[in-house]
Every structure is written in C-alpha cells, then in structure tokens.
Chain A
Amino acid sequence: MPTRKCNGCDGKSDHGVLLRRLDKVLREYREKPGALIPVLQIAQGLFGYLPETVLKRISLALEKPYSEVAGVVGFYSFFSRMPRGQHVVRVCLGTACYVRGGKQVLDAIRKQLGIEVGETTADGNFSLEVARCFGACGLAPAIMVDNDTHQRVKAARVQDILSQYVKRVGKAKGRSKGGKR
C-alpha cells in the first residue's frame, strides 16, 4: 500500500501506519454493539480529523451504511472532517457560559487568531470550534484548548492563554492566573 504524509498530523506518522492502527481498533470493536462512536473518537484521535477514506473504512469494517456513519459525524460538533491545527480551541457556548460572556470570549479569539469558527490558522497552529456545554458550568465562561480547560475566561485574557500554546515564542508558559485545571 502506498503511504503518504497525513495532512492533519504532526508529520511524523505516516498514513499507512495510522491506517494499520485503525484496522487494529476496528478488529477489536467489530463485534461490539454501539461501536461506531467510540471508533470515530479513536480515529479522530489518530488522524487529527476524519478524512473520507477513514470514514469509508470504518463503514465497511463495522458493516454500517456510509450514510449512517456520515449522519453521526455530521451530528456531533466534536467530529471534524477537516484537518485541524496543532491545537484545537473550543469555546463553550452552553447556557451558563453564554450568559457569562462566552460570546465575547469567542469574538476575542476570532479576532486574535484571525479565523472563523471551523477554520484553522494559516500556520496550522490553531483551529477554532464552539461547543454546547462542557459540563463545567461552575467555571463559566470556559474554553478548552486541546485537553486543558480554562475557567472564568475574560476577553482580555485570551491572548495570554493562547500564547501558552504558541511554539518557541520565548515566553514562559502558564503565567495566567486562571491557570490550567
């Protein structure tokens, strides 16, 4: 099988290796009921996003119609069909976060990164997404960057938070008072 570099990953793993790892996951999950969503999550973890070839492979292996796989991927905002940046910024717009200023936080991030929701910065560093409730309403307004949750975020602090994730900018990390959880 010809291998090629995966657009969405860090460039160190090649596509063939990832596909072999996916196939191993598919073998494990094939017989399990309710396998589709966990498999999609794992696949997105492997590839960084869900390319068409991966979705079709999942459809065939789990013997689920491609339309059903697509329906699930399209339903959940967590799943992405586009290659994403090194870091995924998710802004919660659930009710609590929204009323406590989540929208202003989102606007500040859009301005800071110069991208719209669903887009990736030109340097491939950040992707921006919105979510409906992380289940962390006590921390509202909250954002997540990759697996880190940042609480009580204010628009003015956005630059500070994002700078922690910019590679080799010469600044010390994690200076914000909100800190990482």
Chain B
Amino acid sequence: MPKLMIDDKEVIVADGSTVLEAARQSGIHIPTLCYLENIQAIGACRVCLVEVEGAKTLVTSCTMPATENMKVFTRTKRVREARRMVVELLLSEHDGNCQTCDRNNDCELQALANELGIRDLPYEGARTKAGRDTSTPALIRDSGKCIKCRRCVTVCNQVQSVGALFPQFRGFKTEMAPAFGQNLANVACVQCGQCAAVCPVGAISENPQLDRVWAALDDPSKTVVVQTAPAVRAALGECFGMAPGTRVTGKMVAALRRLGFDAVFDTNFTADLTIIEEGAELLKRLTLAVKEKQPTALPQFTSCSPGWVKFVEHFYPEFIPNLSTCKSPQQMFGAVAKTYWAEKIGKKPEDVYVVSVMPCTAKKYEAQRPEMNASGVQDVDAVLTTRELGRLIREAGIDFASLPDETADRLLGFSSGAADIFANTGGVMEAALRTVYEIVTGRELPLENLHVGPIAGLDGIKETSVTLNGTEPDFAFLEGVTVKLAVASGLGNARTLLDRIKQGKASYHVVEIMTCPGGCIGGGGQPRFTTDEVRKQRIQAIYSEDEAKQVRKSHDNPKIKQIYGEYLKAPLGERSHHLLHTCYVAREKV
C-alpha cells in the first residue's frame, strides 16, 4: 500500500496502482485520451503526462506505477505546456471539421482542446489521409479523424476477440484498420460497434440512417411504425444530459409520437414472443435428447444478439446447429408488423415502413441480411442507434425533458417485465426460465422477485442450474433433471466459454450470449461513454422497469395470447416457422 504525494495531497493506494489511478482515487483530474479503465493503459497519447520528482523526463501517469514516497505534480508549467503541445500536435494531423462532425459536442479531443485552452494551432503540415470506409451497413470508419489511440484495436482484439482491426502500415501512414487497410465488409468483423463506442473522436461511428427515416416520415403513402429495444429506454436520457440509468420510457414514446410515427410499438412485445418460441424450441431439444435419446445439438444458444450470431458464423461454424433458430426480437417484430399487423389495418407489407431503435450497430447489419424478408419485402427498413434517436429528437426541435410520459400503442406495444430484462446480461435467460419453468412444473419460478441472482451482473461468465421437480405429466421425463445454464457477455468471454464446451471441460443445456459487455445496455449504439459504473446504472434501471410491470412473465402477456389465437396458432407452428425462425451460414474466419 504505497503512500505518495500528488500535488499537495497525500494518497494511499493499493499495490500495483498507477499514478493515474491514485490521482483519480483522490479526486485529482488528469486528462486522458487513449486510456480505457481496466482495459488499456499504454501511454500512447501522451496526454496524461505528469512530473515526478527525481525523474528526468515527464512520465505518462497511466503507465507509471505509484511507489512509496513518490512526489507527483500534475499541474506545473512544464506539465501544462507539454500536454498542450501534445494536443496541438494531435490537432495538426487531425483531419476533422468539428461543426459537421458526428461527434460535435460529444468529442473527447474537442473537449480536451477546450479544457487545455488551446486557441490557435501553431503547427502546420500534412494531415492524416482521409479515407472513409462505408462498406458495412453498421459502421463508418473515417481514418482522417483517427488519433491512433488504439482503443478500437484493444477492444476489438482483447475484449471482443474478433481482431478485425489492427494498426496497419507505419509511421505517419499508420491506420487502425482491417488487414492492409481493406474495407470492414471484406473481413471477419461482427459489426458490434464496440470500436465506435470507445472511439474518442469521429473516426468510427454508426452508419447513419436518419435521412431515410425522415424520408419515410415525410412520405404520406407510407405507414411508418417504430419499435424500440428494451435497452434504449435506460440510456436515451443520457443524450439529453440526464444521469445514466434514468428511465425515460414514457418520454421516449411521447417523442416518437411527436416525430410523426403512425404507430409507436415496442420490441419488448416480440421479446415476449421470442421467449415463447425459444422456450418451445428448448423443450423440443430437451425432449429429443432426454426422452427420445436422439442426437441433439445442446446447449441451445440464444440468437438475439446479431454480433454474436455473426461471431459463431465466422469463428465457430461447428456450433451453428446449437444456435436457436429464433430470429431476434427486432426481426420478429418486422415480420409480424408487415404481416399480422398490416393485415389488421388493411395494408400491404410494402406500404408499412418499419423503423427500429436499437442500442446496437450490428442490428443495422442484421436488418439487411438477405433472409430477413419473411413478409415478402425487407422486414425492417431502417435501424437507428440510441444515439441517432437522440439526434432525430433534437433535429425535430423537441424538448425531451419536458415531455409527458405516454404509453406505447397496444397491439405490438404491450409487454411483460420479462421482455424488459432482455437488455441486461442474463436477462434473456431469466425471462426464459420464468416461462419454461412454469410450463414444465406448473409452478412459478421459486426465486425472490423472479430474479435469477447468479446470472445477473457484470461478471463475464456466469453459471447456475435449476433442478426440475414436481413436473407436469407432459414433462415427466424431466423429473429430477438438473438443467445447467451459462451466461456470457462480451465476445472474448463467449470465446472462452465456447472453447471450454468444445474441449469438454464444461457442458450446459442453455447458454445465453450477448455480444457487448454487460449486454445490450452496453451496446455499440448507446450514448457514449459507457463505463462499468454506467452499465450498472442502466442494468438497475432495466430491473426497475421489469419490477414496475404488472405482467412479469412473457406467457402471461395477453397480446401474446392474442397473436397466437388470431394468427400464429402455436409456437414452432407453420406460420411461426416461416415468420419467426431463420437459418445461418458458415463464413470465413479470415
């Protein structure tokens, strides 16, 4: 436990802490650009320089271990001038244009230039070569704006274990890019957007679709409906300066109505639908495996997270049979809105325009997968991220904070609390358990508040099991069976879990994977910046949302009963198969 002095403050820190951690712990602000808490401390950007007594040169506080009796100075003239020069040099290469940049007012470099009082740019010279990669529906890379902090590389390689991005070439020409600077669409990128979530500047962002949404809203021949993913309501408030974890479901619905959507629905509805279909699929697999002793692909993997699905297709195609055939709630919604609902209002599928608001960039990719056209046309027409919805609301001049709370339109907008928790890691599993346990035993899941504690929270890999006793006659073959469950979030954790399963070191019946750490609440399309603290607050908001619902279980949702009664008939039935299920393709690893 070294004791050190930072400026005039005495600080005692845990062994192994860095000077930056010590400073943050004692409330002393040191600016950073490349640093990512618990993920990256590489001293690349040189912005966190401090003076250490006895050291010849300034040191980067993010890499400097805190030692006993160290004397650190964070705001001397030498430090201030060095930091300013570092940022001036970064700006001299940065091919940015703040007024028209996606990150205007949300840019760490811009904020830092302001914080350090930079008022002119003394260095003139070559700028980073601009190169826009718009090859994927999910992301745009603009290398001219890149400051080479390498956050995207670290997240892509170490957190997600995808490895689509790496520093290419050398010196001034260095570019954070796929192999040899080629386009993202050509490589094994899952389009999760975690790179965009950590980029401090406008070098990686979502591929925007605001224009096409405005065009649809302005087109009188289109019936424009919108669905919002569960995670959006726990984060959208951050776009308007509200604290992370502020629940804005009612205001979000009100804003969408004022934007002119003909119907404001909720992806939650099809999350409930997913539970019915995916639960039925699990019971079918268990019947085959346990009762009929047939070879069956177990564990069953969840398939709601399109980045995860693409990850399996690229890196673990041998597990494709294990992926649930259920489409994600977004795609189920598109299919149902353009068939069931369109028929109800007397419209053709092509006259209905479906907009999704997602915490995710991979959802943009998922929506245009060629197989996602069960209605005869593309089921989901446009996908906005949470950040883009914030922009849409601002562009419309709507004062978000002063909006009243409204509720979504009923038919495809009513949902259970089980649907809300799809946003959190462990949530899909918990929602499924609430339903499947009750189907098998006839009793409610015997857990406090219906929460499955061991699979909640930010741990990367979580496990639990449920033993089935007192089963209903139809499921007598499951009597006494202990169902083993695992949950992982972040694809690096998913890889670890898959390798364990592959090597026979672990076996499960059901596995839930979410692409992004913490689940969808930490998605690549959420307001920046998502730290673990922010994740926890959003997770809590989602659980509160769930607990506030009158209906907590998907199978109790009356609108779900209605759609089966009127249209789908039975889970895994013919219509379900056509509209709600899909298939996957093996893709190249490199």
Contact = CB atoms under 8 A, between A and B. Distances in A.
Contacts of B589: 60
Given A59-B590, A70-B179, A74-B180, A65 B164 contact: yes
B170 interface: yes
B567 interface: no
Contacts of A81: 180
Interface in B482-534: none
Interface in B120-178: 157, 162-170, 177-178
Given A59-B590, A60-B590, A74-B180, A67 B187 contact: yes
B169 A67 contact: no
Contacts of A68: 157, 163, 166
Given A56-B590, A59-B590, A67 B164 contact: yes
Contacts of A108: none
A69 interface: yes
A149 B318 CA distance: 52
A69 B157 CA distance: 13
A71 to B, nearest CB: 4
A67 B178 contact: yes
Given A74-B170, A75-B169, A65 B157 contact: yes
Contact of A71 (B162, B168, B188, B590): B168
B163 A65 contact: yes
Given A65-B157, A67-B178, A69-B179, A74 B169 contact: yes
Give the one of A56, A64, A67 with max B CB within 10 A: A67
B166 A67 contact: yes
Interface string B365-399: 00000000000000000000000000000000000
A66 B178 CA distance: 8
Interface in B560-590: 589-590
B163 A66 contact: yes
A75 B169 CA distance: 5
Contacts of B164: 65, 67
B163 A71 contact: no
Interface residues on B, range: 10 to 19
A67 B153 CA distance: 10
A55 B589 CA distance: 13
B6 to A, nearest CB: 37
Nearest to A70: B179
B179 A66 contact: yes
Contacts of B169: 74-75
Interface string A97-130: 0000000000000000000000000000000000
A75 B180 contact: no
A65 B166 contact: yes
A70 B188 CA distance: 14
Given A59-B590, A65-B157, A70 B168 contact: yes
A70 B180 contact: yes
Interface in B176-191: 177-180, 187-188
A90 to B, nearest CB: 17
A68 B157 CA distance: 10
Contacts of A60: 589-590
Contacts of B165: 67
Contact of A70 (B157, B162, B166, B170): B166
A37 to B, nearest CB: 15
Contacts of B178: 67, 70
Nearest to A64: B163
Contacts of B590: 56, 59-60, 65-66
A69 B590 CA distance: 11
Residue among A55, A56, A69, A70 having the largest count of chain B Cβ atoms under 10 Å: A70
A67 B187 CA distance: 9
Nearest to B188: A66
A55 B187 CA distance: 14
Interface in A69-109: 69-71, 73-75, 81
What are the nearest 3 A-B pairs in CB distance? A65-B163, A70-B179, A67-B166
Interface of B: 157, 162-170, 177-180, 187-188, 589-590
29 contacts: A55-B179, A60-B589, A60-B590, A64-B163, A65-B162, A65-B164, A65-B166, A65-B590, A66-B163, A66-B590, A67-B164, A67-B165, A67-B166, A67-B177, A68-B166, A69-B179, A70-B166, A70-B168, A70-B178, A70-B179, A71-B167, A71-B168, A74-B168, A74-B169, A74-B170, A74-B180, A75-B167, A75-B169, A81-B180
Given A65-B157, A67-B164, A68-B157, 11 more contacts: A56-B590, A65-B163, A65-B590, A66-B163, A66-B188, A67-B166, A67-B179, A69-B179, A71-B167, A71-B168, A71-B179
